Amino acid sequence: MNHNKLIRVIAILLISAFSLSAQQAPAPQFALTPGIRAALDHISADSLRGHLSFIASDALEGRNTPSRGLDIAAEYIAAQFRRAGLEPAGDDGYFQTANFLLAETPMDAFATKLKNGTETISVAKTQVSFNIDKELNVSAQVFKVDYADASAIAALTSDQVEGKVIITEIPDSRRAEQPRRLEMFLARNEFLNKMTGLKAALVISIDRLSATGSGAIQGRLVDPDNRRTFPPTESVPTITVHDPRVITAYDALKAGASNAELTVKLPAPIEKPIRLRNVIGLLRGSDPALKDTYVLVTAHYDHIGTRPDLAGDNIFNGANDDGSGTVSVIEMASALASLKQHPKRSIVFMTFFGEEKGLLGSRFYGRHPVFPIEKTVADVNLEQVGRTDSTEGPQIANASMTGFDFSDMGTIFKAAGDMTGVTVYKHELNSDAFFSRSDNQALADQGVPAHTLCTAFVYPDYHGAGDHWEKIDYKNMEKVDRMVALALVMIANNPQEPKWDEANPKTARYVKAWNEHRGK
């Protein structure tokens, strides 16, 4: 072979090798410098414990959206961002303000009476729980349904049910063991949809386990951008009654039509303005060009509040869900702000309100981004990174990403895990299924490569009153957080931004959104 041919062959081989490498999109080569190592070492189990013992304390009463406890948590997060030296990035210092409406039912005008023969039972407003967004004025015959008798329910006709008050006993899925909750929730929806189709006027469900109700579920949030209500109301007006006298009357009734009559008067909700806040701090990038592009690390700082109808511990502290993600964002902000030279891209540290009510804070940010979406290159959302006692067994030095292979973020985080001793993997059952179940979804809908990282998908006390800060594995969380912080630096220092896998059909909608933001 002559010299010129040899040069051409070598050139072709080199080009082919480069093209193959680009197609495979390997994780970028990255040097873990002493300075970056020192910043990672700044992340401390003791510091995480200190933050979470406050965020998930009883004093914050479960951080419901909205609540005084949520506002206190927001102030605490902002104070920690200020302490780290982050730039405030909201419209009010570190706060991005969302002006929602709170619809509350005036309970002073509430009245419920059950009349059965000569006996009339007046139910107190403290003995009911409901999620109804309209005025009710019902007076109708009571029809008893055995909720456990599927064949009897299937045989019901509109002639039997239309215009009547259905009284039954629907089990509370929130009191059940975790594996049964979804099944029970879906069964409840199916039953209520059946009653809607049969044109029942109202459903009354009795509760034997508590004599105290939560009233109008602490109000319903109304998004002024689209008038959507959170939580969504049920298909047929439903009231849970906790009155022992009504339970006794229920037990005495035979299945089917009865001579009992129930009257309910419920005034229309009154809407008032409410202020909710995302908390946002910025670590400004060091590269003259790349500093105007942004890597997000996020978590939701709300939880589900309290349950007055529960005896004993009725504060849902949400230490793992998602106090763990919240304090991880705080701790990583402090650690990466200690770098003498900031990463090339800017890193945004953000905590969202209202995830538990329907991704409210993240969806608000998606509609009102502080930083241009077309300049936002990635989001890693942290959810449930503190508990290692998964229902699948101990999860030590493990982390999984939702939608692991939807983009090359999975490859980047796996490389960061290899350098820090954490196994980052795709959970074959839950990775794709859980993609839409946390705040990453709102960013993905805007086209941003966005994933949620967690340690345990399902664990004891999930959405239970027992999710306390003492149950967190802080040494493991320290290790996982160091891995995440390293991955953030890797993304921020790489001139090539993460990209969706266009060959994966599950990413089509996100690729489309990304191209639209880029004007492609």
Range with the poorest average pLDDT among 19-23, 70-74, 126-130, 156-160: 19-23
Q: Is the same domain home to 433 and 485?
A: yes
Residues 91 and 138 in one domain: no
Query: Same domain for 34 and 133?
Result: no
Question: What is the spatial distance between Cα 282 and Cα 295, in angstroms, rounded to a whole number?
Answer: 10
Q: Are residues 340 and 358 in the same domain?
A: yes
Domain-ending residue, one of 250, 268, 286: 268
Residues 221 and 296 in one domain: no
* Residue 280 domain flag: yes
Q: Which domain holds residue 190?
A: 106-268
The answer to whether 243 touches 207, Cβ cutoff 8 Å, is no
Mean pLDDT lowest among 80-84, 306-310, 455-459: 306-310
Least confident of 13-17, 135-139, 483-487: 13-17
120 pLDDT higher than 60: yes
Confidence of residue 27 (pLDDT cuts 50, 70, 90): low
Last residue of a domain, one of 268, 298, 330: 268
The pLDDT of residue 28 is 57
Q: Is residue 2 part of a domain?
A: no
Angstrom distance (rounded) from CA 157 to CA 353? 44
In a domain, 124, yes or no: yes
Query: pLDDT tens digit string along 160-191?
Result: 999 999 999 999 988 888 778 889 999 999 99
| Structural element, H or E, at residue 271 | strand 270-283
Residue 361 and residue 279: Cα distance in Å, rounded?
10
Helices (H), 201-276: 244-252
Q: Would you tell me how many other CB atoms lie within 10 Å of the CB of residue 67? A: 18
231 vs 221: CA distance, rounded Å: 7
In CATH, what number is assigned to the domain containing residue 226?
3.50.30.30
Opening angle at CA 409, ends 403 and 412, nearest 5:
135
4: enclosing H helix or E strand: helix 3-24
Flag whether 396 is in a domain.
yes
For residues 323 and 460, state if they share a domain: yes
Residue 23: what pLDDT? 38
Q: Which pTM value belongs to this model? A: 0.88
Residue 285 maps to a domain: yes
- Regarding whether 187 and 57 lie in a shared domain, the answer is no
- Do 54 and 114 reside in the same domain of the chain? no
User: d(Cα 318, Cα 312) in Å, to the nearest integer?
Assistant: 17
- pLDDT grade, residue 215 (50/70/90)? confident
Beta strands in 77-201 (DSSP E): 87-88, 95-104, 111-116, 119-123, 128-130, 136-144, 165-168
One-letter amino acid identity for 33? T
Task: Please state, for a pLDDT cut of 70, what percent of the chain lies above it.
Answer: 94
Q: Count the domains in the chain.
A: 2
Residue 213: partners with Cβ closer than 8 Å, 6 or more residues away? 126, 127, 128, 129, 207, 240, 241, 242, 308, 309
Reported as a pLDDT band with limits 50, 70 and 90, residue 275 is: very high
Q: For residue range 452-510, what is the model confidence (pLDDT) as tens digits? A: 999 999 999 999 999 999 999 999 999 999 999 999 999 999 999 999 999 999 999 99
* 37, 114: one domain: no
- Token pair 């490389």 in the structure block, residue: 415
Looking at the structure, do residues 367 and 418 belong to the same domain, yes or no? yes
pLDDT at 42 over 60: yes
- pLDDT for 21 equals 37
> What single-letter amino acid sits at 123?
V
Closest Cα partner for 280 from 350, 346, 223?
350
Give the helix/strand (H/E) hosting 380: strand 376-382
Of residues 122 and 309, more confidently modeled: 122
* Cα–Cα dist 43/67, whole Å: 30
Query: Residue 322 class from Cβ within 10 Å (0-12 exposed, 13-18 middle, 19+ buried)?
Result: buried
Q: Is residue 305 part of a domain?
A: yes
- Segment 58-62 mean pLDDT: 98
Domain end (from 268, 302, 326): 268
Mean pLDDT of the chain: 92
Q: Residue 367's CB: how many other CB atoms inside 10 A?
A: 13
The verdict on residue 13 lying in a domain is: no
**What secondary structure letter does DSSP report for 308?**
T
| Of 319, 384, 320, nearest in space to 57 by CA | 319
- Token pair listed for 176: 């059940």
Tens-place pLDDT, residues 395-435: 999 999 999 999 999 999 999 999 999 999 999 999 999 99
Q: 60 pLDDT exceeds 80?
A: yes
Domain presence at residue 498? yes
Is 355 in the same domain as 241?
no
Q: How confident is the model at residue 11 (pLDDT cuts 50, 70, 90)?
A: very low
Do residue 316 and residue 301 come from a single domain? yes
Q: Could you tell me the CA-to-CA distances from 412 to 299, 388, 405, 417, 482 in Å, in that order?
A: 20, 23, 11, 9, 14
CATH of the domain at 79: 3.40.630.10
